[in-house]
Amino acid sequence: MSTAPNSTTTTTALKRHTAVRQFPPIGTCLTVLICLTLIPLVQIYVEEIASVVKVFDGAVANIVSLILAFIAFMTLWIWFCWKSAYSFGSRRAVFAAPLAGVLMAVALLRFEGVDGYMKPTFVPRWYPQHENELDRPTAMAPAVVVPEKTTESPASENVKTEIAGIDLKTETPEDFAQFLGPQRNNWLPEAKFADRWEPQGPREVWRRNIGPGWSGFAVRNGYAVTLEQRGPEEWVSCYRVSDGQPVWHHACESRHYDPLGGLGPRATPTIDGGRVYAQSGTGRVQCLDGETGKLLWEDDLLKRYDLTQATSEGLVKWGRSGSPLIVDNLVVVPAGGYDSNVRSLIAYDKETGKVAWEAGTDQISYASPIRCTVAGVDQIVSVNEKTLAAYDPRDGQQLWQYDWSGNSSADANVSQAFPVGSDQLFISKGYGQGSSLLKLVPEGDKLAVNMIWESRRVLKTKFTNVTIIGDYAYGLSDGILECVHVESGKSQWKSGRYGHGQVLGIGDQFLVLGEDGELVLLAANPEKAEVRGKIQAFDGKTWNNLCVTGKLLLIRNGQEAACYEIP
């Protein structure tokens, strides 16, 4: 009897084997199916996952989704190119197509950055870069500009004007002279505006190009000051509020850039006593004459704490964002440092720049210090990298400290702490951490900190601050507008996706400047999200804080500045 293989049987088996190899095996199919199932689940249940997984938010959900999609694609791609029984030509084409697509994208597209959800933006490489399109002013209102090198800072260039009435000394009720407003609390209680906008929205007074950066405006007596990047220089720029015309600028050699955080300075300047106090994105603290922009004194925090820019940006990755705080005769800013030489705050004599005191040993965050009286004690409250702490304004002695976890190169603390009532503080944070209400209780010559409530589900403010109006806090919780009862921590409502933008309370209403540049007016209504008007103010990423002076709203992003008359 013959034992030779049956040709028919062999052919049938080969066909079956080929058919199997033309369809992915069970393991490959399961891997792809699991990944594609997890992607929508991760996106839908962000809130639920964030409540149990530390440092989880919409941005992390997008990163996880991208990784899952990549795993699914690579699983199929590897199987098709190396394991399947398809023709060599087909496998070669599938192998080459993604590589060609990547090479083409690299050749034709330029990475412009990411938004607060870690969604990247790409533009064609032949599109001009915004900062290269900005002209250096050759004339300023109201006078001619003459460059002048000064002995105070040999590395910097100061721009001097023949002055015609630039007055930053005279205080007016309409001033917005520091970060988050006159009381540094992100609310203008006396502001009164119409409770509805016409369909066309507020009247645009002016609009102009501006250098990159996330600084806001500070206003005194009809003049607005902000920080912006111009090539290798950071500028402290002064503009006339009425028409947006530049009146002076001071330039210094400083440039901070991070692929995720973007380009330019972050802090908002402070105006006091006719002087402008500013901190660059690389830690140069400057005092300028508000009339001319001339440098009066300067301190380089990197040199003071023996840091290189690379070392500093390894510790505080996205640039120094602390806006100067005026406390009597002092100006206080977050300090920084390395290893055992870390200081949370540094205070200067605001007239001379001489160091008055240093305080705290926790690394700096992206928040700015505030001065407030809580539990009857005058104090400077600072949100640091891993703690919330308070210091005596007179000598910097620490009064109390509370653990508030974070990492200034990862899940960073950005949002301010705000006083509530006579003895409480509200604090919030993004990256899935949420918010908390604390109570300060006197204990001898110190203060004890008791937690009233803490929730990972409410007001997860990533790059933004809340505005507290009455008994309720309004803010962008991982990009969604939310109202929370401050005393209980109960969420009243959550509505409207504005991204990681900014809010500002104005009387019994508040403004939202969305991350995409949409400007929205809402009632401070704890019952529902009541939109009273909206316009598209900017195109593109907008992380800058708002400024209201009288009936005028000054806003900006990293490309444009605009002024609107609010009805």
pLDDT tens, position by position, 113-122: 999 999 999 9
Q: According to CATH, where is 2.140.10.10 located in the chain?
A: 141-565
CA distances from 208 to 16, 334, 514 (A): 70, 31, 19
- At residue 65 the predicted structure's pLDDT band, cuts being 50, 70 and 90, is very high
CA distances from 90 to 21, 47, 93 (A): 14, 43, 5
Q: What pLDDT, on the 0 to 100 scale, is given for residue 231?
A: 94
On average, the pLDDT of the chain sits at 92
Residue found under tokens 């090198």: 149
Burial group, residue 168, by CB count within 10 angstroms (0-12, 13-18, 19+): buried
Token couple for 228: 């912006």
Read off the pLDDT of residues 127-165 as tens digits, 9 standing for 90 and up: 988 888 887 665 555 543 434 443 344 433 444 444 457
Read off the pLDDT of residues 502-533 as tens digits, 9 standing for 90 and up: 999 999 999 999 999 999 999 999 999 999 99
Q: What pLDDT, on the 0 to 100 scale, is given for residue 146?
A: 38
Separation of alpha carbons 175 and 371, rounded Å: 18
Q: What pLDDT, on the 0 to 100 scale, is given for residue 11?
A: 52
Amino acid at 403: D
Give me the percent of the chain exceeding a pLDDT of 70.
91
Q: What pLDDT, on the 0 to 100 scale, is given for residue 144?
A: 37
Q: What pLDDT, on the 0 to 100 scale, is given for residue 136?
A: 66
Task: Give the pTM.
Answer: 0.91
Q: What pLDDT, on the 0 to 100 scale, is given for residue 51?
A: 84
Q: What fold, for 141-565?
A: Methanol Dehydrogenase; Chain A (2.140.10)
> What is the maximum span of the chain, computed from C-alpha positions, in angstroms?
117
Give me the percent of the chain exceeding a pLDDT of 90.
86
Contact 209, 132 (CB under 8 A): no
Cβ within 8 Å of residue 445, ≥6 positions away: none
Q: What's the gap between Cα 48 and its chain centre? A: 25
Least confident of 42-51, 379-388, 536-545: 42-51
Q: What pLDDT, on the 0 to 100 scale, is given for residue 52?
A: 87
- The arithmetic mean of pLDDT across residues 19-46, rounded, is 90
Contact 178, 268 (CB under 8 A): yes
Separation of alpha carbons 418 and 323, rounded Å: 16
Token couple for 142: 């109201």
Position 4 pLDDT exceeds 90? no
Position 62 pLDDT exceeds 90? yes
Separation of alpha carbons 277 and 269, rounded Å: 6
